[in-house]
Amino acid sequence: MTPVATPFFFYLLAGIMVIGGIMVITRKNAVHSALALIVTLLAQAALYLMLYAPFVAGVQIILYAGGIMVLFLFVIMLVSIERAAKERTFNKQWLVGLAAGLALGALFIGVYEKGKVIFPGRMTAGQEGQNTQALGTMLYGQYMFPFEIASLLLLVAIIGAVVMAKKRI
Amino acid sequence: MNELLHISTLHYLVLGAALFLLGVIGVLTRRNVVIVLMSIELILNAVNLNLVAFSRHLGGLHGQVFAIFVITDAAAEAAVGLGILIAFFRNKETVNMDEVNLLKW
């Protein structure tokens, strides 16, 4: 199936993502930030579909928008948000932080100007189907060792989170 | 105009850079630790977008495998970070970044 209206969907999703990102870092209420982040993550999952990566898109929705964001929302409920709503949103050195961020942006623009000739204007045609199958073969074949290390990392993270959140160790 | 309408790898890279920038500004300017952690998630997502775009650019699947590993890392980081946040909130009754000064003298 050839893609239809790629520029329209790309710019729509990119706009949703950037606006969502701006909402995440400017909203006073942490719950609003979390909801904006969920919208950003869903738009990104759609972009993964446009990049012929359906498995990563599914993982993005299930794990990120589902799992991690629910964790965030639970913690927001646990810590008090009423007090935080009355306080300053930004810290004292926000001006310095913003300047550093804009300097990084200038650096990105410089890299863009220098490096844009490397990339061809058109993308190669993506291969369809078999994506999940091929990824599974790679994960359990070539990337076996990193895969096992990732599972170990998750085990360590689970133990660490339980120990951290425990009342009395 | 033609360049803008043919969506290439470069478009995805620029979008990734913009999201990365938003995440960095969020980390540097916000006080609430929860939102700082969310900004870190934004940064990781920008990297993921770049990885998948390069995977498409080079015609392989290695970038997507890497993106899955990054998502795993993000899950682990969120779990540990929020655990630390709960422990901190229990001690100091605050979630503000600039009140985390237990090691300052």
Q: What is the pLDDT of residues B75-102, one digit of tens each?
A: 999 999 999 888 888 888 888 888 888 7
Q: Domain locations in chain A?
A: 1-87, 129-169
How much is the pLDDT for A119? 72
Is residue B42 within 8 Å of residue A40, measured between CB atoms? yes
Residue A127, pLDDT score: 63
* Helix axes A131-140 and B62-92, enclosed angle (nearest 10): 70
Q: Which long-range contacts (CB under 8 A, 24 or more apart) does A70-76 make?
A: A71/B78, A71/B79, A71/B82, A72/A34, A72/A37, A72/B34, A72/B37, A72/B38, A72/B78, A72/B82, A73/A31, A73/A34, A75/B34, A75/B82, A75/B85, A75/B86, A76/A30, A76/A31, A76/A34, A76/B34
Predicted pLDDT at A124: 61
Distance CA B40, CA B34 (A): 10
Chain B, 29 to 88: residues with Cβ < 8 Å from chain A are 29-32, 34-35, 37-39, 41-42, 45, 48-49, 52-53, 55-57, 59, 61-62, 64-65, 67-69, 71-80, 82-87
pLDDT of residue A2: 59
**Fold of the domain built from segment(s) B2-93:** Helix Hairpins (1.10.287)
Q: What is the CATH number of domain A1-87?
A: 1.20.120.1200
Phi, psi dihedrals of residue A52, rounded to the nearest 5°: 60, 45
The whole-angstrom separation of Cα A85 and Cα B19 is 25
Q: In Å, how far is B105's CA from the nearest CA of chain A?
A: 19
**What percent of chain A lies above the pLDDT cut of 90?**
49
pLDDT of residue A123: 64
- The per-residue pLDDT for A108 is 92
Q: pLDDT confidence of B16, banded at 50, 70, 90?
A: very high
What confidence category does residue B9 fall into, taking pLDDT thresholds of 50, 70 and 90?
Answer: confident
Question: Quick one: pLDDT at residue A128?
Answer: 64
Helix axes B33-58, B62-92, angle to 10 degrees: 180
Residue B29, Cβ density class (10 Å: 0-12 exposed, 13-18 middle, ≥19 buried): buried
In this predicted structure, what is the pLDDT of residue A78? 84
Nearest to B62 by CA among A120, A46, A123, A146: A146
Kindly state the percentage of chain B with pLDDT values over 70: 97
Q: Which of A152, A73, A20, A144 is nearest to B76 (CA)?
A: A152
Q: What's the longest Cα–Cα distance across chain B?
A: 59
Count Cβ atoms below 10 Å from residue B37 Cβ, excluding itself.
21
Please check the confidence at residue A1 and state whether its pLDDT lies above 60. no
Q: Which chain B positions have a beta carbon within 8 Å of A91's beta carbon?
A: 29-31, 97-98
This prediction's pTM? 0.89
Please give the mean pLDDT across all residues of chain A. Answer: 86
Residue B17 clears pLDDT 60, i.e. is over it: yes
pLDDT digit string, tens, across residues A37-88? 999 999 999 999 988 889 999 999 999 888 999 999 998 888 866 666 677 7
Whole-number pLDDT of residue A116? 78
Return d(Cα A151, Cα A138) in angstroms, integer.
16
